[in-house]
Structure 1
Amino acid sequence: MPIEKVRVMISSRCKDYAAQAGGPFALASLRKQLKARIESEALFGQTPFQCFTNEHEPAKAASRDLWDECLQEIRRSHIVIALYNGDAGWSGEEADDGICHAELNEALYSGRSRTFIVQLPLTTKTPTARDKRFRARFERELHFTGSPTATVADAEALVLQTLAEATANLVRGGATQLRKESYSLGEALDWSRLAYAERKKTMEDACIAALADHAPGTPARITGGATTLPIAGTEVLFCVHGIPAATSLAAAREMVGRPFLADHHHLGTAPKAHGPVHVIACHRGATEKQATDLLGFPDATVVSTGFGIYLVDPVQRIQLVMLANCRDQATTRYAVQRLFDWLDRSSQDEPLAAHAMARGRIVRAIQKEVRGR
């Protein structure tokens, strides 16, 4: 019985070349080779991949143009692999973004975790204004180390390796989602049986243990529901709290309250640290509105991420991290892992440390005022 295919899209220029030692190679040839190789790969006697490259697709209805079809395919695909050579692709007007730029934007906005970039040598053509915009977006959003692929063989091998890793990521991500069906069993059920106060403490203990494991070298020092971790070379105090039921329930939410109002007490436990940053383990989901309600006003930077919500008040430098669906040890540890993955991928570690340093200065000024009464 045939299996449902994993949809893979190769996004790149078609009528362009990339440089290599033996002379330029055509991207059209590389795309054709990749499509044939990907669709012929077998797993236990089945060919699980369907590869989309627009030059090999049949004609579409006149009601939709090629631009719409390409972006629609980006949204439909399970894995998007972009071959980047600095060429933004065609567009109707010079002032418009090119199709490769649009495809990359659509892929990033509709699912960064399924979007992968393979660097090729830059195009030999003189960059246009839209190419320069594309390159600026690439440099701002994506971070790479090392050199671009040097040959066609290197590029093909890297795409296939990327596809293998992407497939493994999809499997792991799907397994994580399937855990939701297991919340009525095992440790998740044990946590659900606990009273609010006991469940809150259990969640906080699991969260702080997961945080402490991210301290390099010697074990992190844990004091009174808080731990210090080095972030971008700065010792940052993380205070951990737990909302033991749905965040929409006032009785559960009020067990945390507004913890930043006691920052002058929290920072007293770690006089050399900066911050604090408040990490709130939520037994259920977390929304942007719940985060701003917790802060007390909506004028703040709020980011919805794979682990939950990150909020920062740019004036008072309060930082809140809400970890969603902390139902047991595994899901709590996974949420913390996703937090640090996001800090690394978004280069948000340095801004987080800078906000923590500023918050520390504010809190120490409050401490002086309190002691001077």
Structure 2
Amino acid sequence: MSTDKLRVMISSRCKPYQTEAGETFPLDRLRQSIKDELDAAHLLGQPLFECWINEQEPAKPATLDVWDECMKAVRQAQIVIALYNGDAGWCAEGGDGGELGICHAELSTALQTGRDRVFMLNLPLAAECGEATDRRFQEFVRQELSFNGPAATDDTNALAKLKQTVAEAVALLAREGSSQLRKSSYALGQALAWSRMSFAERKREMEKTVGQALLERFASTSPRSLGEFNAGGLRLLLQFETQVLLMTVHAIPAPMTTAAAREMVGRPFLSDHKVLQVDEAERPKTPLGKALKFHGPVHLIACHRGVTEKQATDMLGFPDATVVSTGFGVYVLDPVQRVQLILLANCRDASSSRYAVQRFFDWLKRSAQAPEFIAHAKARSRIVRAIQKEQA
């Protein structure tokens, strides 16, 4: 019985080029070596990969041009590896009318259609890559892929790095795929038990699970639960990075389209001036016995089903906000009032809830947004304390 193969696309220029050091880098030989290695790779005696490089593709229908065919290959691939040397590639209209080079377009399309399957291998920079299209490509890479490792020294070193990258990609895709298989199990086990609960019971269970996940994740920093407060949910003081953050945990125990479930949370940030009133005796202390200063609140909301960007901005109350939709759900920031909402999608049982928490903090790390996250929490606490002062 034949095995379905993983489709790997190699995105780069196809010809040798001169590096900045004045040497010739055999990019054509590297691409062919990659294809030969992957096509020959077996797992337990079965072929595992099908490698796509455009120079060996057969003729295509007249309805598709080369550009269309390359974009189609990007979308169909399970793994996309970009060999980056700063050259954006040829332009469909010859440039420069502000269009993208083919390598730029392939990488952009790959990131838009599945970032976790995209990997980039740095090669020695090309000597002649100073065109406007190349500069746009280089800036795009700096913004989108802030960490991708040192450049390979030669084609042998590049091939070794690429084999390590493919092995890592397969392991990552296997882990991600196993988490997605939970979606087919929502009619069984704990997910079924949660579905049988009333809204109030499910809400408490979701909040308890997410709260425990946060406490266990930051257990080494001695966090402390502050129990329930009037708006419903949990308050947690957590040592995140070098700061203490006040995070409130809420849960929407049914689809966001169900008004009765959505209204159990409402707009929790409207009660921030009450949430921030933590009794001195409940606050964690420094070794000298002084109460720690904390920042926030930041609102983490577990959603029993999916959540869209529009539903997130509707909860905020207006659309003019920073909205990031990614694997864990949706992150929303009001850049004026510094309200931060983290909506975790598909918290159907304990495993999926904990995984959503994990994905959020993984995103903070990968996107290098943790300092911004903390800065907004600090600003929010100053705003809320000013409201408290006026209320007093």
Q: Distance in 2 between matches of 1:19 and 1:228?
A: 52
Instruction: Return the offset for 1:19.
Output: 4.9
Opposite residue 364 of structure 2, the aligned amino acid is L
Q: Distance in 2 between matches of 1:25 and 1:178?
A: 43
2:166 to 163, 173, 183: 163
Aligned position for 1:14: 14
- Structure 1 residues 96-105 or 215-224, which shifts more? 215-224
Structure 1 position 294 matched with structure 2 position 297: no
User: Does the residue aligned with 2:211 lie in a helix, a strand or coil?
Assistant: helix
Q: Is the 8 A contact 1:213 1:219 kept in 2?
A: no
Aligned position for 2:212: 209
Q: Is the 8 A contact 2:302 2:353 kept in 1?
A: yes
2:293 to 261, 268, 272: 272
For residues 294-346 of structure 1, what are the alpha-carbon distances to aligned partners after superposition, in whole Å with 9 as ceiling and x for unaligned?
A: 12222222221111111111221111111011111110111011101111222
Aligned position for 1:44: 44
Q: Distance in 2 between matches of 1:59 and 1:158?
A: 32
Q: Is the 8 A contact 1:18 1:85 kept in 2?
A: no
User: Does the residue aligned with 2:323 lie in a helix, a strand or coil?
Assistant: strand
Q: Distance in 2 between matches of 1:212 and 1:16?
A: 53
Aligned position for 1:368: 389
Aligned position for 1:256: 265
Aligned position for 1:178: 181
Q: Is the 8 A contact 2:298 2:340 kept in 1?
A: yes
Q: 1:20 to 1:151 in 2, by over 3 A?
A: farther
Aligned position for 1:34: 34
Instruction: Return the offset for 1:204.
Output: 0.7
User: Does the residue aligned with 2:47 lie in a helix, a strand or coil?
Assistant: coil
Q: 1:349 to 1:49 in 2, by over 3 A?
A: same
Q: 1:133 to 1:302 in 2, by over 3 A?
A: same
RMSD: 2.0
Q: Is the 8 A contact 1:18 1:120 kept in 2?
A: no
Instruction: Return the offset for 1:127.
Output: 2.0
Q: Distance in 1 between matches of 2:211 and 2:267?
A: 19
Q: 1:163 to 1:88 in 2, by over 3 A?
A: same
Instruction: Return the offset for 1:14.
Output: 1.1
Q: Distance in 1 between matches of 2:149 and 2:166?
A: 19
Instruction: Return the offset for 1:291.
Output: 1.2
Structure 2 counterparts to residues 185-224 of structure 1, below 5 A: 185-215=188-218, 217-224=220-227
Q: Distance in 2 between matches of 1:120 and 1:214?
A: 37
User: Does the residue aligned with 1:211 lie in a helix, a strand or coil?
Assistant: helix
Q: Distance in 2 between matches of 1:87 and 1:229?
A: 45
Q: Distance in 2 between matches of 1:10 and 1:18?
A: 20
Opposite residue 261 of structure 1, the aligned amino acid is L
For residues 107-132 of structure 1, what are the alpha-carbon distances to aligned partners after superposition, in whole Å with 9 as ceiling and x for unaligned?
A: 11111011111111211225222111
Aligned position for 1:238: 247
Q: Is the 8 A contact 1:239 1:278 kept in 2?
A: yes
Instruction: Return the offset for 1:88.
Output: 0.8
Q: Runs of 4 or more off by more than 4 Å in structure 1?
A: 18-23
- Structure 1 residues 343-352 or 312-321, which shifts more? 343-352
Instruction: Return the offset for 1:15.
Output: 1.4
Structure 1 position 226 matched with structure 2 position 228: no
Q: Distance in 2 between matches of 1:112 and 1:18?
A: 30
Instruction: Return the offset for 1:60.
Output: 1.7
Opposite residue 131 of structure 2, the aligned amino acid is T
Aligned position for 2:81: 81
Aligned position for 2:289: none
- Structure 1 residues 48-57 or 94-103, which shifts more? 94-103
TM-score normalised per structure 2: 0.90
User: How high is the sequence identity, in percent, across the aligned residues?
Assistant: 55
- Structure 1 residues 314-323 or 186-195, which shifts more? 186-195
Opposite residue 257 of structure 1, the aligned amino acid is G
Structure 1 position 282 matched with structure 2 position 303: yes
TM-score normalised per structure 1: 0.94
Aligned position for 2:373: 352
Aligned position for 2:117: 114
Q: Distance in 2 between matches of 1:228 and 1:90?
A: 53
1:93 to 88, 92, 95: 95
For residues 156-179 of structure 1, what are the alpha-carbon distances to aligned partners after superposition, in whole Å with 9 as ceiling and x for unaligned?
A: 111111111111222222211211
User: Does the residue aligned with 1:213 lie in a helix, a strand or coil?
Assistant: helix
Q: Distance in 1 between matches of 2:148 and 2:219?
A: 22
Q: Distance in 1 between matches of 2:106 and 2:244?
A: 40
Structure 2 counterparts to residues 311-322 of structure 1, below 5 A: 311-322=332-343
- Structure 1 residues 70-79 or 12-21, which shifts more? 12-21
Opposite residue 343 of structure 2, the aligned amino acid is M
- Structure 1 residues 191-200 or 50-59, which shifts more? 191-200
Opposite residue 10 of structure 1, the aligned amino acid is I
Opposite residue 180 of structure 1, the aligned amino acid is K
Opposite residue 93 of structure 1, the aligned amino acid is G
User: Does the residue aligned with 1:222 lie in a helix, a strand or coil?
Assistant: strand
Structure 1 position 65 matched with structure 2 position 65: yes
- Structure 1 residues 181-190 or 314-323, which shifts more? 181-190
Instruction: Return the offset for 1:290.
Output: 1.6
